[in-house]
Amino acid sequence: MSPFTRTNYVRVAVGAIVASFFVAVLLSRMPASVDASFSAEPQPTPKRARKYSEFPHDTKAHKLDCSSCHKFPSDNWKKARAADAAFEDVTEYPKHDSCVRCHMQQFFKGSQPQICSICHVNATPRNGVRHPFPNPRETFDTSAKGKIAESDFVVSFPHDKHIEIVAGNGTRSMSFINARFEETRRRNEASCSVCHQTQMPQGTSEDEFVTPPPAKIGDAFWLKKGTFKSGPNGHTTCFACHSAETGMLPAPQTCAACHQLKPPPIAVDFDAKLAAPMKIENKRMMDAWKRRDSSGTFRHEFFGHVELSCSTCHNVSTMKTADPKTTRVPIASCATCHATPTTDDGGALNYEVDKRKAEPAFQCVKCHITLGKLPIPESHVKAIVAASGK
Ligand code: HEC
Ligand code: HEC
Ligand code: HEC
Ligand code: HEC
Ligand code: HEC
Ligand code: HEC
Ligand code: HEC
Ligand code: HEC
Ligand code: HEC
């Protein structure tokens, strides 16, 4: 089939008027199997107006095997990271053949079809330049697309199956430690830092804020350094063990073993309007803040907090990272210090509860950004009762 006759065929098939050379270029990039099958596939009939500018994983028709779109490893995996840090990984967008069998219509719509913008910067039949793929995030997060992108997924990571075997300094040469029953907590908690470090610690610096606050900040909230812990930024740590060489399951190409669609949103202790003037460029930090649903102001790096064992506040054996209800930090772990027998003993929780009782419009701000506007939950009342010893 010559490019010319192919072009006419597509015109009839999709009923769209397109520049013939445009279609010819696109089709020349498509494998023959797709070319042969597309006319037999039913075309999607949109029920509502769709913009086709963002790819949703949760659309019914997209809930396919991950491998039908994501090929492991990508052709470019050796180029996506520095030579000494490269490993087999998915580092490029799915190719046209993952989409066209269902989206022929969108692929040939107008001179610059909207759907191209999901993967391409400024797609034309000759310009194939793409946004960086969301992995590795070090590159993606600093791109125009990456700065505003939100993931469709959460990571499911069973801490209980890992804490005794993960150790070392976080490099890819981590050693396997014999799990012994007498493993100390200290040993296990040293493992936490392989994957979780304090983000932007204040350390010995005088400057406690993440970005410069306005001159007249007063008691108003402004984000401080050392608030958030980081998490794994991608596959480097996981694939050190979960690789073809080690044979440790889940295998790297079984994406769904670790990635699960986001659960329905729950109330978080975050306010985009309050955060906006802070102009925080660090995407990881903002991602952590947006997920906080216990205390939006809690700082890990703080003299009263930093010496505590992680297990004071986090129970990693009952935590399911894909279920936010199980990762919540109970107020009981704060109450040992922030609730006192009476308000005069200095407990911040007592103080705020008293204030709220006196003034119904009082907003609790010590530990909260937005949750402090809501009614006082049962857990807080119980914590005060427990502290009073009655
Ligand atoms: C129908 C094709 C298709 C299928 C099936 C698919 N993906 Fe994707 N995936 C894409 C495209 C296209 C992108 C790029 C989207 C973007 O950058 O906006 C992407 C991006 C991603 C990203 C990065 C963006 C984000 O939301 O975090 C992850 C992670 C991902 N896919 C995981 C998966 C997993 C896990 C599965 C299987 C459960 C899967 N994908 C199935 C097409 C697909
Ligand atoms: C198996 C068929 C199928 C495949 C493969 C497929 N899609 Fe879709 N896609 C659909 C259907 C059907 C809809 C419309 C859903 C509806 O009407 O409810 C859709 C909707 C969309 C939307 C609009 C979402 C919205 O709500 O605005 C985008 C964007 C999209 N697809 C992009 C892609 C891309 C990019 C690929 C390839 C990586 C792809 N799709 C692969 C069937 C598919
Ligand atoms: C789901 C992501 C995705 C979408 C949507 C998409 N492309 Fe692509 N495109 C790619 C990838 C990946 C390649 C590289 C393919 C390869 O290496 O074989 C590519 C290659 C190209 C190339 C060749 C450039 C080169 O470097 O080889 C052109 C031109 C192109 N695309 C145009 C378009 C146009 C026009 C649209 C919209 C009608 C579109 N693409 C939609 C992912 C996409
Ligand atoms: C091998 C890497 C790894 C190790 C080691 C590890 N974690 Fe995690 N942790 C993760 C991943 C992955 C998540 C999922 C969240 C994400 O996507 O960042 C997570 C999530 C968490 C969360 C929930 C965050 C939230 O969503 O609220 C807490 C708390 C946590 N880890 C604490 C710990 C503690 C305490 C230890 C040590 C006992 C530990 N982790 C060891 C990888 C690890
Ligand atoms: C005094 C209590 C306390 C201690 C001790 C503590 N954390 Fe946290 N941690 C919290 C609170 C509160 C949150 C916010 C939870 C939320 O709102 O979702 C949190 C959140 C996290 C998160 C998610 C990212 C973030 O900052 O929001 C990770 C990961 C985490 N903690 C790891 C650790 C590790 C590792 C240790 C030990 C080195 C530790 N934490 C010690 C209270 C604590
Ligand atoms: C030190 C090696 C090591 C590292 C690093 C590691 N894993 Fe694992 N992982 C294992 C082993 C071994 C198992 C099997 C444990 C078992 O079945 O008891 C496992 C099991 C799993 C399972 C399956 C658990 C189940 O219920 O079957 C998941 C999911 C998983 N790992 C995710 C991750 C993620 C995500 C990361 C990176 C944040 C990671 N792993 C890093 C060694 C590792
Ligand atoms: C062993 C567990 C594991 C497997 C298997 C796995 N991933 Fe991931 N992936 C992770 C973790 C952990 C992160 C980084 C943490 C996060 O996103 O919160 C990540 C990050 C990503 C990112 C960067 C964007 C983002 O959401 O942070 C993409 C894209 C991605 N994975 C795609 C895939 C695809 C496609 C597959 C299958 C070929 C796959 N992953 C298999 C654990 C895994
Ligand atoms: C010392 C820190 C601290 C103070 C002070 C505090 N809270 Fe909380 N709050 C927490 C923590 C931790 C959680 C999450 C776990 C829980 O509810 O036990 C929480 C959760 C909440 C929730 C969500 C409850 C739910 O079940 O969804 C609301 C609403 C709330 N607080 C309101 C308030 C109000 C109103 C005040 C002032 C009277 C207040 N908090 C003072 C730490 C605090
Ligand atoms: C071991 C005692 C202890 C525990 C447990 C504890 N804190 Fe604190 N926290 C302190 C001390 C001491 C201070 C400094 C005095 C003050 O501001 O009350 C403080 C200060 C704070 C501040 C103010 C920080 C700042 O930058 O000004 C917040 C917010 C806070 N804690 C939240 C919490 C939350 C939420 C929890 C439970 C998840 C918690 N704390 C658990 C001892 C503790």
Chain centre to alpha carbon of residue 269: 17
**Within 6 Å (CB) of ligand 8, which residues are found?**
294-295, 328-331, 334, 338, 348-349, 352-353, 356, 364, 366-368, 371-372, 374, 376-377, 379-380
Mean pLDDT of the chain: 85
Q: How many angstroms does the Cα of residue 181 sit away from the middle of ligand 1?
A: 40
Which is higher by pLDDT, 17 or 26? 26
**Interval 216-224 mean pLDDT:** 94
What band does 175 get if pLDDT is binned at 50, 70 and 90? Answer: very low
Residue 181 has pLDDT above 50, yes or no: no
Q: What is the pLDDT of residue 47?
A: 56
**Within 6 Å (CB) of ligand 4, which residues are found?**
155, 157, 159, 162-163, 166, 188-189, 191-192, 194-196, 231-232, 237, 291, 310, 314, 316, 321, 327
Q: How many angstroms does the Cα of residue 315 sit away from the middle of ligand 8?
A: 18
Q: Show Cβ contacts of residue 357 under 8 Å, excluding neighbours closer than 6 positions.
A: none
Residue 172 has pLDDT above 60, yes or no: no
Q: How far apart are CA 212 and CA 214, in angstroms?
A: 7
Q: Show Cβ contacts of residue 302 under 8 Å, excluding neighbours closer than 6 positions.
A: 226
Residue 69 has pLDDT above 80, yes or no: yes
Which is higher by pLDDT, 264 or 183? 264
pLDDT tens, 20-58? 334 444 444 443 333 333 333 445 555 567 789 999 999
**Which amino acid would we find at residue 37?**
S
Tell me the CA end-to-end span of the chain in Å, nearest whole number: 87
**Interval 272-296 mean pLDDT:** 97
- Ligand 8: residue of 368, 370, 381 to mutate (most ligand atoms within 8 A of CB) is 368
Instruction: Look at 85-94, 172-181, 192-201, 333-342 and tell me which has the smallest mean pLDDT.
Output: 172-181
Percent of the residues in the chain that have a pLDDT greater than 90, as a whole number:
75
Q: How far apart are CA 195 and CA 238, in angstroms?
A: 10
Q: How many angstroms does the Cα of residue 53 sit away from the middle of ligand 3?
A: 15
pLDDT tens, 345-361? 999 999 999 999 999 99
Domain ranges of the chain: 3-148, 334-388
> pTM surpassing 0.95?
no
